[in-house]
């Protein structure tokens, strides 16, 4: 049987890990959403509420977070999301510096965008205590479509109306109007926009 001290520690962990389920935090997040015209389905993980309170997170009108999204950011990091975006189930945004997303961009289930990475190069310290190092801001344009389980790493810029294939890992820039697939992702072609003179 756990000791009273063990239960006390367990309860402290529970209130920290489940903080976003508290009535007061939940209501505050909905207030931001109602005011900004966006919507956050639950469960929702991370520090989006704190970032909204402090002005380090902004979310445009009409943007939707499906259940299971996890938005996390370091103490000085920013996340800027435009209007009319869709973040489907289990999408994660993890910012140590800056993640910028334009308008009407769609993230399929399970996409992960992170502008930093865990440090792992100190052989004496547990990796979980080494913190994150920034790899440069991530900028994703407007009207992009990121397929299922895409991973976008630090320092990457994705141009407007680009498409990224499912299960890709994007480690280099993707120009506007192109399609990239694979791990690491490579550009496979330009999109033939209707009426652009270049295609059907």
Non-local (6+) Cβ contacts of 59 within 8 A are: 32, 33, 36, 38, 52, 81
> Which one, of 35, 34, 30, 62, lies nearest residue 48 by Cα?
30
Who's near 82: CB < 8 A, 6+ residues apart?
60, 63, 101, 102, 103, 104, 105, 142
On the CB side of 162, CA atoms within 13 Å amount to: 26
How is 79-119 classified by DSSP, letter by letter?
A: EEE-SS-EE-TT-EEEESSEEEE-SS-EE-TT-EEESEEE-
Pick the closer one to a copy of itself by CB: 67 or 172.
Answer: 67
With respect to a copy of itself, which residue has the nearer C-beta, 73 or 92? 92
Q: To the nearest whole angstrom, how small is the minimum distance from the Cβ of residue 89 to a copy of itself?
A: 7
Q: What separation, in Å, do the N-terminal and C-terminal C-alpha atoms of the chain show?
A: 70
Q: How far is the CB of 134 from a copy of itself (least distance, A)?
A: 16
Comparing CB distances to a copy of itself, the nearer of 75 and 126 is: 126
Q: Residue 70's closest CA among 16, 20, 12, 134?
A: 20
Let me know if 118 is a catalytic residue: yes
- Please tell me which residue in 32, 44, 104, 118 is annotated as part of the active site: 118
* Least distance from a copy of itself to the Cβ atom of residue 120, Å: 6
Closest contact distance (angstroms) between CB of 166 and a copy of itself is 4
Nearer to a copy of itself, 51 or 147 (CB): 147
Judged by DSSP in three states, 20 sits in: helix
Q: Any idea which residues carry the catalytic annotation?
A: 118
């Amino acid at each position: 049987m756990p000791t009273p001290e063990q239960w006390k520690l367990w309860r402290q962990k529970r209130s920290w890990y489940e903080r976003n389920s508290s009535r007061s935090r939940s209501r505050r997040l909905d207030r931001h959403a109602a005011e900004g015209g966006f919507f956050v389905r639950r469960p929702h993980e991370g520090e989006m509420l704190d970032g909204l309170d402090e002005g380090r997170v902004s979310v445009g009108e009409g943007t939707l977070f499906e259940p299971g999204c996890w938005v996390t950011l370091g103490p000085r990091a920013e996340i800027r999301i435009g209007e009319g975006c869709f973040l489907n189930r289990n999408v994660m945004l993890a910012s140590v510096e800056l993640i910028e997303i334009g308008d009407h961009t769609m993230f399929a289930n399970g996409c992960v965008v992170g502008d930093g990475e865990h440090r792992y190069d100190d052989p004496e310290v547990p990796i979980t205590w080494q913190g994150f190092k920034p790899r440069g801001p991530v900028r994703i344009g407007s009207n992009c479509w990121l397929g299922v389980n895409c991973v976008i790493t630090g320092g990457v810029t994705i141009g407007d109306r680009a498409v990224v294939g499912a299960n890709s890992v994007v480690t280099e820039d993707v120009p506007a109007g192109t399609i990239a697939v694979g791990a690491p992702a490579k550009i496979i072609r330009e999109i033939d926009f209707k009426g652009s003179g270049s295609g059907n």
